[in-house]
Amino acid sequence: MRLGLGRRIAGVDEAGRGPLAGPVVAAAVVLDDGAAIAGVKDSKRLTRGRRELLSLKIREIALDWAIGSATPREIDEVNIHNATLLAMRRAILGLRSRIDYVYIDGKFCPDISIPTEAIVHGDTIIPEVSAASILAKVFRDNQMHWLDSLYPQYGFKTHKGYPTKHHRMMLRKLGPTPEHRISYSGVLKT
């Protein structure tokens, strides 16, 4: 499955497709000949503290990394699928080094001129994609902490924009913020 040594491979993953608020975020990571970083695996299998520590390590060790995102307005305009591909494209294009090949976690690839391959559960088998999964999740969680400081009554720091009971209750009481995805049925029908 992996390409030969000496080729620059980027792994890409996203975070934030399901929440009712906040951006969808993608990360692209290039490791030295696909070298694994101890403890790096799919971000969903790690504690928050472990993800944050590994995020710092990945940023330090990776040959290159970049973050891309799509705003809630972009999600509303083009739908979550296309916004995710846009965020992935932005992350890949944000890399400073020349890339020979890109592995994407999932079923679909963004429109870029670099050869790409989409792999379902790539975040569990490809070190670059696992690392990207961690960077994307940590970056998005930090964005939601920042949004919590702007809209503390919604509890973004706790639920990260997902449709929890408290989040739905605040939407009913206060209505959506500019950071909510209006096109999502759970935002206006709570």
Kindly list the averaged pLDDT for each block of 10 residues, start to end, along the chain of length 190: 68 97 98 72 72 93 96 98 98 96 97 96 92 96 97 96 96 96 83
CATH of the domain at 138: 3.30.420.10
Evaluate whether residue 3 is within a structural domain.
no
pLDDT of res. 3: 54
Q: Phi, psi at residue 96, to the nearest 5°?
A: -85, -25
Structural domain harbouring 124: 9-185
pLDDT of res. 190: 47
pLDDT of res. 1: 44
pTM for the whole structure = 0.91
Evaluate whether residue 113 is within a structural domain.
yes
pLDDT of res. 186: 81
pLDDT of res. 113: 95
Evaluate whether residue 104 is within a structural domain.
yes
Sequence-separated (6 or more) residues with CB below 8 Å from residue 59: 65, 135
Evaluate whether residue 22 is within a structural domain.
yes
Asked if residues 129 and 119 have their Cβ atoms less than 8 Å apart, the reply is yes
Evaluate whether residue 1 is within a structural domain.
no
Evaluate whether residue 4 is within a structural domain.
no
Q: Say which residue the tokens 């799919």 belong to.
A: 42
Structural domain count of the chain:
1
Q: What is d(CA 56, CA 41) in angstroms, rounded to the nearest whole number?
A: 14
Evaluate whether residue 190 is within a structural domain.
no
Q: Say which residue the tokens 């995102």 belong to.
A: 69
Strands (E), 106-187: 116-119
Evaluate whether residue 34 is within a structural domain.
yes
pLDDT of res. 91: 98
